Structure 1
Amino acid sequence: MITVGIVDNDPYAVSVLSKLLRESGMDVQWGTTSASAALRRCLFESATPQVLVSDVQMDDMNGMELCRQIRQRKTTPGTVMITAYPPRRYLEQAVRAGAQGLYLKTDVAGIRTGVRAAATGDTAQSDSGFLNCVEARNALLRNVSSKSELSERERTVIAMYADGFATDDIMRQLSVSKGTVATYEKRACAKLGAATRAQAVAKYVRLLTTGMTC
């Protein structure tokens, strides 16, 4: 039986879609109106559903960012996006985010087909540019890597932070001022698409562990 998680900022939509998928023989493990809650469940809970069905527009995080954060870390769950607007409006964004499909909320048959394909890690919409889970993750990581060509000093600073060095230690080791360290850190954050030092370090480590260059 296919296991599914659903996130939509409209609780009624969550309820209706849960009922429809259960009637199709699927096991809807949970439904939530919070994208942040869905992210935690998909990344950190042991019982991750095979498929996440996600609304595009939500209050705390949009569906594209939710999908992107999951896919950069994992090949599962397969992700099917849904929207109340014409899907072509979000098609390119959904493909880039690593989703396996995008359907109108009223297209119940299409959603079922998309969920069944995503449960196997595949896509039912390859003709629209969607990739399977593995290909989507690889494409995302290549994109991150291509934008994150750090200079030698930027890489050194982030690597030292990753190794637990404090700013004062880095200043002494590299014989540079605190302002210079901050500049290298700021540039590295921008190239890695990170808002904070902690995010930059996490992305740097993830690129290294997946064999990508930075």
Structure 2
Amino acid sequence: MVVNVMETNVERIDKSVEHIGIVDNDVLTLGALSSYLAQQFGDEKILWRCTLGKKAAELCSNSQTRPQILLMDMSLSDADGVQICQEIRRTVDDMPILAITSFPLRRYAAAVAQAGVQGIVAKRNLRTIAAALECVVSGHVYLPDELAETMPDLHFELPVQAHRRIDAETLGGQAVKPVLSDRETAIIVRYARGQTTLQVGECLGLSENTVKTYTKRAMAKLGAKTRGQAIALWLMQTMTHGV
């Protein structure tokens, strides 16, 4: 079930949040998040907090220190937040992950969805973060209306579904790296920048039908069902392999 939640009018879901793990690169922001969520849910509900993504991955891999839900910053000093989410999701199939960022949500939305998180929310609204936590703990995904309206192909999965997909996308423990042609890559790059099919064609000197043909080929190579998913997969590939 997908729950679209407006940041200005969030429906509160009546289910207890038990243990929260919080990761944020900025110590002051980490303190503010921890303080607010402790007020909302109780001091004992903050299981741990840290500034390092690799430390968070280590804590989540241990059943004794694994939180009920992980609140993960995307901008970290020691690692890429998206990659840490994917690493955790590859090994943990029952813990929801909620991405947070101070950047526009579109910057990370597609990539974190592909990495197996259950939603993304802006840091600027602490009340919304608390509501989003309750949402995903209750067995839903959190999709802000601003993303539902501007990124219609965006789709968040539940933890088990995301784990199975990511597990299937790996071979011998290594992510499979589809190879796109230069033309296919150029088209995906422009789509990722928000250009329309017409704009992509004008930039590359191609007809709209030709652009669509190349896009279908790229989607097939990436194993994507939609253009949005192809963009997300390509973004993950570039972050992982430095393409």
Q: Same fold (TM over 0.5)?
A: yes
- Per-residue deviation at 1:147? 3.2
Which residue number in structure 2 is paired with residue 95 of structure 1? 113
Give unmatched runs, 5+ long, in structure 1. Answer: 149-214
Q: Check if 1:10 corresponds to 2:26.
A: yes
Which residue number in structure 2 is paired with residue 72 of structure 1? 90
Instruction: From 79, 85, 110, give the equivalent of 1:61.
Output: 79
Where 1:125 maps in the other structure, the secondary structure is strand
In structure 1, C-alpha distance between the alignment counterparts of 2:141 and 2:96, rounded to whole Å: 9
In structure 2, C-alpha distance between the alignment counterparts of 1:95 and 1:111, rounded to whole Å: 17
Instruction: From 114, 125, 131, give the equivalent of 2:157.
Output: 131
Greater Rg over alpha carbons, structure = 1
- Per-residue deviation at 1:107? 2.1
Please say if residues 100 and 121 of structure 2, whose CA atoms lie closer than 8 Å, have aligned partners that are also in contact.
yes
Q: Could you say what the CA RMSD is over the residues aligned between the two structures, in angstroms?
A: 2.2
The Cα offsets for residues 23-68 of structure 1, whole Å up to 9 and x where unpaired, read as 1115111111111111111102513111110110101112111110
Please say if residues 8 and 54 of structure 1, whose CA atoms lie closer than 8 Å, have aligned partners that are also in contact.
yes
Q: Which amino acid aligns with 1:87?
A: L
TM-score by length of 1: 0.64
Identity of aligned residues (%): 26
The Cα offsets for residues 164-211 of structure 1, whole Å up to 9 and x where unpaired, read as xxxxxxxxxxxxxxxxxxxxxxxxxxxxxxxxxxxxxxxxxxxxxxxx
The Cα offsets for residues 63-114 of structure 1, whole Å up to 9 and x where unpaired, read as 1111101110111321111111101111110101100111110122321122
Instruction: From 14, 36, 43, give the equivalent of 2:54.
Output: 36
Please say if residues 121 and 133 of structure 1, whose CA atoms lie closer than 8 Å, have aligned partners that are also in contact.
no
Instruction: From 100, 117, 121, give the equivalent of 1:82.
Output: 100
Please say if residues 98 and 118 of structure 2, whose CA atoms lie closer than 8 Å, have aligned partners that are also in contact.
yes
Which residue number in structure 2 is paired with residue 147 of structure 1? 176
Query: Which ranges of 4 or more aligned residues in structure 1 deviate by more than 4 Å?
Result: none
In structure 2, C-alpha distance between the alignment counterparts of 1:19 and 1:9, rounded to whole Å: 16
Q: Check if 1:113 corresponds to 2:131.
A: yes
Q: Which amino acid aligns with 2:135?
A: A
TM-score by length of 2: 0.57
Please say if residues 55 and 82 of structure 1, whose CA atoms lie closer than 8 Å, have aligned partners that are also in contact.
yes
**Structure richer in helix, relative to its length:** 1
The higher-RCO structure (CA 8 Å, 6+ apart) is 2
Q: Check if 1:23 corresponds to 2:42.
A: no
